[in-house]
């Protein structure tokens, strides 16, 4: 599948902003774009003619972009559809729920062509992974995915599956993850940072100090932006930190490096 094959639904109430975004999309080779003003109209259009990707702003009349994504993720017909948010909003409390719900990308407003191209490339990879994107011997890997959000775990599995990995075990919290590690052997642990009760940093510390698999590579997937918290996570012993949402090619580079070292 190529960029020219993508069918995109753009949800943006501003005619000027729609024109700007469409211009960027067409400049990257996207030919099929449909636009609408509201989240309610977007849901109707998705049901009638499902797009490959929904691009939305955060603030809409009626339901917001965050609510739109939530409704998509609870609808069996729409829950696997790619979603990209474009917003000038920077506050963590507004953006984190969108990242946790499995957004393909969150782009700033204004965005660059490179940022948009990366989001579109990730969408294409999730729909139809390129053969060259697969890792070496991925079928041999056993991965423990730790996240309190089922949607986030599903998105992580989807990206890793595109790299050829197929053997996953899931845990919804630290206690369950530690039990899984005690019962089985894993080649990689992928964990979220922000989890209730015991967060990803504390899970990493427990794995490194008390687990029978103290040297297992740990990749932290997080929407956290605090430098002090991320520094503490690194000191706890994570092998790599990856932004949420993440691009598949970036994840592949990290995993190639981590697993080569392991």
CATH 3.40.50.2300 in the chain is located at 3-127, 132-261
Residue 24 has pLDDT above 90, yes or no: yes
Q: What angle do CA 113, 97, 192 make, to 5 degrees?
A: 90
pTM over 0.85: no
3-state SS, residue 9: strand
Q: What is the DSSP letter of 143?
A: E
Mean pLDDT, the chain, as a whole number? 87
Residue 126 in tokens: 């999730």
Which pLDDT value is given to residue 33?
Answer: 97
Q: Is the previous residue joined to 173 through a cis bond, with omega within 30 degrees of 0?
A: no
Residue 85 in tokens: 């948010």
CA distance 162 to 128: 8
- Residue 46's Cβ-count burial label (10 Å; 0-12, 13-18, 19+) is buried
Give the residue, 133 or 237, on which the prediction is more confident.
237
Q: Which residue has the tokens 């400049």?
A: 27
- Domain 3-127 - what CATH class? alpha beta
Give the E-state strand segments of the chain in sequence order.
7-11, 32-36, 53-56, 82-87, 105-108, 142-146, 167-171, 188-192, 218-222, 240-243
3-state SS, residue 34: strand
Length of the chain counted residue by residue: 262
CATH code for the domain defined by 132-261: 3.40.50.2300
**Residues β-bridged to residue 240:** 219
Which helix (H) or strand (E) segment is 167 a member of?
Answer: strand 167-171
Residue 210 has pLDDT above 90, yes or no: no
Residue 107 in tokens: 């782009």
Highest mean pLDDT among 97-101, 165-169, 247-251: 165-169
Contact between 207 and 218 (Cβ < 8 Å):
yes
- The half-sphere exposure of 93 on its side-chain side, counting CA atoms within 13 A, is 0
Q: Mean per-residue pLDDT for 191-199?
A: 86
Q: Mean per-residue pLDDT for 150-156?
A: 86
3-state SS, residue 29: coil
pLDDT tens, position by position, 91-113: 888 888 888 888 888 999 889 99
pLDDT tens, position by position, 43-63: 999 999 999 999 999 999 889
Residue 163 has pLDDT above 90, yes or no: no
């Amino acid at each position: 599948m190529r960029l020219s094959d993508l069918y995109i639904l753009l949800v943006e109430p501003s005619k000027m902003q729609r024109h700007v975004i469409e211009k960027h999309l067409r400049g990257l080779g996207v030919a099929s774009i449909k636009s609408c003003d509201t989240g309610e109209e977007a849901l109707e259009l998705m049901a009638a003619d499902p797009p490959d990707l929904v691009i939305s702003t955060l603030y809409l009349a009626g339901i917001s972009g965050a609510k739109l994504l939530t409704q998509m993720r609870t609808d069996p017909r729409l829950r696997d559809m790619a979603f990209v948010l474009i917003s000038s909003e920077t506050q963590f409390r507004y953006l984190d729920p969108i990242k946790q719900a499995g957004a393909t990308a969150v782009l700033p407003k204004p965005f660059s062509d490179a940022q948009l191209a990366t989001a579109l490339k990730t969408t294409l990879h999730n729909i139809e992974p390129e053969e060259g994107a697969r890792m070496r011997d991925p079928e041999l890997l056993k991965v423990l995915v730790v996240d309190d959000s089922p949607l986030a775990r599903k998105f992580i599995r989807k990206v890793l599956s595109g790299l050829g990995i197929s053997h996953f075990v899931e845990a919804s919290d630290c206690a369950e993850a530690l039990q899984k590690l005690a019962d089985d052997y894993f080649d990689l642990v992928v964990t979220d940072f922000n989890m209730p009760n015991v967060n990803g940093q504390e899970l990493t510390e427990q794995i490194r100090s008390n687990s029978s698999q103290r040297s297992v590579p740990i990749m932290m997937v997080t929407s956290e932006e605090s430098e002090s918290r991320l520094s503490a996570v690194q000191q706890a012993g994570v092998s790599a930190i990856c932004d949420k949402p993440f691009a598949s090619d970036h994840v592949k580079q990290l995993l190639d490096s981590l697993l080569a070292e392991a």
